[in-house]
Amino acid sequence: MRKGLYILFLLILPFVAKAQELSSDSSSTKSKSYVHMLHTDITRFDEAINPDAWILVGDVQFRRDSMYMYCDSAHYFQNKNSFQAFGNVRMEQGDTLFLFGDYLDYDGDVNIARVRQNVRLIDKTTVLETDSLDFDRNVNLGFFFEYGTLSDEENVLSSYYGEYSVDTKDAFFQYEVVLENSDFRMLTDTLRYNTETKIANIFGPTNMYSGESEVYSERGRYNTSTKHAFLLDRSVIYNDNKNVTADSLFYDTQAGYSEVFGNIIYTDTVNRNMLTGEYAYLNEIVDSAYVTGRAVATDFSQRDSLYLHADTIWAVSYNVDTDSLYRQIKAHHKVRAWGKNMQAVCDSLIFDSRDTCLTMYKDPILWDKDIQLLGEVVKVYMDSTNINWVHVINQTLYAEPVDSVNYNQIKGQEMKFFFNEGKLAEMQVIGSVNIIFYPIETDGTYMGMNTTTAGRAIAYLKDGQVEKMVIPKEAKGVFYPMSQRPADKRFLDNFAWFDFVRPTSKEDIFNWRGKGAENVLKSIRRDKIPLPTLNGFKK
């Protein structure tokens, strides 16, 4: 009886398959598509193995719609519109989509293929490899759940769970995701990647590595072809002991530059300084930073941290040779600086790490506690923790209040101030020196007002007070008792007290207050002395 059924099956099977195909193709509604068995070398039925399946052996071929499937052997469940395939499983759709594996469970009703062991899905130049893949032919979506890798011409992705869409070329990977190529590596937990655009979108904590640089972000995208990253949500770039954090940033990892926007914090851990602002352009190749928009440079290298604001701040590193590297910080326009002991105002300044000198230009004013210094140029020399000395050049003025109306005053062509453990200890004044000084009795009362003119003068200070002054014998001076001071002798001709300009806190550095056009230093042209030659003077 069973032999007769087997012979009958062989006779009618081709006609049933053909009838199913014709019925499927001719129906306008196409309510159901069937799996068609196209070829097998051997067909048999074995109730002991599977009472519901026909056993097909040797060059087995199936088709459902445009998908062709091949294997060494199969169990064909005609009533269930499904089959199980074993050995050298291959699925083909057109000449671009291929799916390989050792085992296939294909459900024709739901149109889902479950492929296991040594699985490879090939879509043109994209290859997905795993041991367990479910492929939904309704939406052409494959997903794995026991680790897999996806590779294209440029990148390799791996994770424990992933999806790949043949139609959109989108890959969605989760759990310990790694994306890498020859010069880039990304570690994240959730990633969407497109094999055509080569763009990776991140949706959680992500670390990216390129050369010496590392980037951390929780939201953004990275184009692996152009090497461009667009990152949001306080992303961070780390590079050679420097890091920058911002609300959003654009980073070209190949060209080595970035543009950052919003609440920027740029930190140099080696030189112990920080730049903040609303916009920055950073170039890691030449190691430079340009910051504007409430730009602030904060120096932590001194005991007294200094906060400096300007319209624009640059930080640039220079390589003189292989063994010499120095850094400059430049601030331009409306510079205001505040520290607990020192404050400053000027139009522009430069800090150079070679001599640890901060040079202020164009109407600079420097305050050290109660002392006000000004000149055409002010240079501040520092060591790792303190100010060493200050050099004030041309149209100089030293002013120190002794009470609410009287001031110690000194002017000259040049001034040098030397500090000891952060305290002013010695002052040298050189060239056309004029002094107004109020000596104090031991009981704290003023002796009177002393005026002096000299070629140079040296003052020694203790606890902020002048303890001793050395003046050449040829100096001229007049001493006036307090009650006999002439009104026109109480102030030097260049005296001005700019306490209203002085920054009062690190928040006040943003509030520009000019000292007024009437108090701007005079522009003095200083020509070099002509050198004599055989034919007269060389101009």
CATH number of 209-319+331-343: 2.60.450.10
Element (H, E) at 62: strand 54-64
Q: How far apart are CA 314 and CA 328, in angstroms?
A: 8
CB 393 within 8 A of CB 366: no
Quick check: 1 pLDDT over 50? Answer: no
Cα 80 to the chain's mean position, in Å?
58
Note the pLDDT of residue 5: 44
Note the pLDDT of residue 528: 53
CB 20 within 8 A of CB 36: yes
- The half-sphere exposure of 194 on its side-chain side, counting CA atoms within 13 A, is 11
With cut-offs at 50, 70 and 90, classify the pLDDT of residue 320. Answer: low
Residue that wins the pLDDT comparison between 480 and 241: 480
277-300 pLDDT, tens per residue? 999 999 988 888 999 999 999 987
Q: Convert 36-59 into a string of H (helix), E (strand) and C (coil).
A: EEEECCEEEECCCCCCCCEEEEEE
Phi first, then psi: give them for residue 508, nearest 5 degrees: -75, -10
**What are the tokens at 215?**
């980037």
CATH number of 364-539: 2.60.450.10
The model's pTM is 0.77
89-117 pLDDT, tens per residue? 999 998 889 999 999 999 999 999 999 99
With cut-offs at 50, 70 and 90, classify the pLDDT of residue 367. Answer: very high
Q: How far apart are CA 335 and CA 312, in angstroms?
A: 9
Q: What one-character DSSP code corresponds to residue 502?
A: S
* SS3 label, residue 80: coil
Say which residue the tokens 């193709």 belong to. Answer: 25
What residue ranges of the chain are covered by domains with CATH 2.60.450.10?
Answer: 209-319+331-343, 364-539
With cut-offs at 50, 70 and 90, classify the pLDDT of residue 26. Answer: very low
Quick check: 13 pLDDT over 60? Answer: no
Q: How far apart are CA 82 and CA 491, in angstroms?
A: 106
Quick check: 51 pLDDT over 90? Answer: no
453-511 pLDDT, tens per residue? 999 999 888 876 777 888 888 899 999 999 899 999 999 999 999 999 999 999 999 99
Interval 40-67 mean pLDDT = 89
129-152 pLDDT, tens per residue? 999 999 999 999 999 998 999 999
With cut-offs at 50, 70 and 90, classify the pLDDT of residue 7. Answer: very low
> Is the alpha carbon torsion for 287, 288, 291, 295 positive or negative?
positive
Note the pLDDT of residue 523: 58
Quick check: 267 pLDDT over 80? Answer: yes
Phi first, then psi: give them for residue 393, nearest 5 degrees: -125, 125
Cα 250 to the chain's mean position, in Å?
8
Amino acid (one-letter) located at 139: V
Interval 225-251 mean pLDDT = 92
Q: 288 pairs with which residues across the strands?
A: 283, 316
Q: What one-character DSSP code corresponds to residue 14?
A: H
Quick check: 28 pLDDT over 60? Answer: no
- Spell out the residues 6+ positions from residue 174 whose beta carbon is closer than 8 angstroms to its own: 159, 160, 161, 162, 189, 190, 191
Note the pLDDT of residue 142: 96
Quick check: 376 pLDDT over 80? Answer: yes
Q: How far apart are CA 451 and CA 314, in angstroms?
A: 44
Note the pLDDT of residue 58: 95
Quick check: 536 pLDDT over 50? Answer: no
- The half-sphere exposure of 500 on its side-chain side, counting CA atoms within 13 A, is 6
